Every structure is written in C-alpha cells, then in structure tokens.
Amino acid sequence: MRIDILTIFPKMFDPVLNESIIKRAQAKGKVKIYVHDSRDYTLDKHRKVDDRPFGGGSGMVMRPEPIFNCVEAIRRKAKKAKIILLTPQGKTLNQNTAKKLSRLSHLILICGHYEGIDERVRIKLADKEISIGDYVLTGGELPAMVLIDAIVRLIPGVLGDKNSLNFESFEGNLLEYPHYTRPANFRKMDVPEILLSGDHNKIEAWRRMQALKRTKARRPDLLKQ
C-alpha cells in the first residue's frame, strides 16, 4: 500500500511514522508513506496556504491551489489513488471502514485546517470524508495519524501474530475479554482460576462470555448491530 499525506505541518508526522509498528511496516515494505508540505505546492512568493473567506466572517480558509497542485503531482505517478479528506463533517471512522481501506493500494489523505477548506477541494477531489469522532480538533493531522494507525496494522503481514487480529475489540462486534499476565497473585488480586487451568476449551468459552458481558454493559449498541 502507498499513502500520501498533504499537510501544512509535515513535522507532526515524524514521531508517529518513525516508531513502533508503523515504522516496522515501512521497513518490511508493507506500506510506503510520503508526507507532502502543501506550502511546496504554492505558486506565490509568500507561499500562502490560506486566505480570507469570500462573503466575510472570521478565520481563514485553506486555498484550493496548493492542494490541487499536490494531488495532481502525485496522480501523475500513481493514478488509482482514493482521496480522503479528514474533517469533522465526515463519516465517523470505525473498524469496518479501516478494514475496507486497508485493502486498497493507494490513499491520499488531505489534512484540513483553520476554519475550513475551500469547498472545491471537497467537491472535486475528495472521494471520501472521514471524521474520527464528534469533537473538533485544530486540524486533520492527528485524525490522519489515527486513520493510518488503524489501517496499517490491518495490512496482512504487518502484525506478527494473526490471532491477535481475530480476538480484538470490535471483531464480530464485541469488545475484548480481560487479559492477565504474571504474577498470578498481585497485591492480593488473583487471576481468574480458569485461566490457570490449562483447559483451552473452557478458557475460550470464558473469554467469549466475558466479551459478551462487557459489550452488553458498555456498548449495547454494538450487540444490536
């Protein structure tokens, strides 16, 4: 998979892309990630990425020109990209969407900013608009990182243990069962005995029951789906 990111804050991505599983996925050749500074695609001498809104009002609007220029430059080399705009107005991200996107070969992520982005970017370029939740952040950079993390870990071969994907939260619309590790007794708190029994059928049944109970208590909406 290839991911291109358009942003006015490219440095924000360094720590996230150069650590942990996302770093390893790139080293293994599972994903190639390119960060583009929108300012490099401006044509004026002040390298302006925003301007005042037509019709007046407070705040600034991101100019369409650098975004169109950058997308066109990427598309000249790679034609099949799906373009995603990160915006609080988009469809809320969930595991199902992450899974679908993880099967695509090329994504271009556009990070919005300021009061908004020129509507022509949305109309003409965006194939999909994604929000990471019903709250407003200062820009689309953190949402883009969240989306990349959610997608990259689903690319086959990125996570070592295939089973860890099968039993995690939201798989089959259930939250995850509780986990324990050594020691079996910690500050007078015991690990549930069944987990020490070695009976794998019973353990699996216990875990499924715990996952169901937890989902019913915390996220009954998931069970209805």
Find out whether 165 is annotated in a ligand binding site. no
Would you say 51 or 129 has its CB closer to ligand ADE? 129
Find out whether 14 is annotated in a ligand binding site. no
SS3 105: coil
8 Å CB contact between 50 and 114: yes
* Ramachandran quadrant class, 157 (left: phi over 0; alpha: psi -120 to 50; beta: rest): left
Would you say 38 or 87 has its CB closer to ligand ADE? 87
SS3 7: strand
Least distance between ligand ADE and beta carbon 86 (Å): 4
Least distance between ligand ADE and beta carbon 116 (Å): 10
Would you say 53 or 139 has its CB closer to ligand ADE? 139
Rounded to an integer, what distance in angstroms lies between the CA atom of residue 141 and that of residue 199?
Answer: 46
8 Å CB contact between 191 and 184: yes
Find out whether 137 is annotated in a ligand binding site. yes
Q: Which residues of this protein are in contact with ligand ADE, per CB under 6 A?
A: 86-88, 112, 131-133, 135-137, 139-140, 143
Would you say 64 or 140 has its CB closer to ligand ADE? 140
Planar angle of CA 150, 155, 158, nearest 5 degrees:
95
Residue ranges of the annotated binding site for S-adenosyl-L-methionine are 112, 132-137
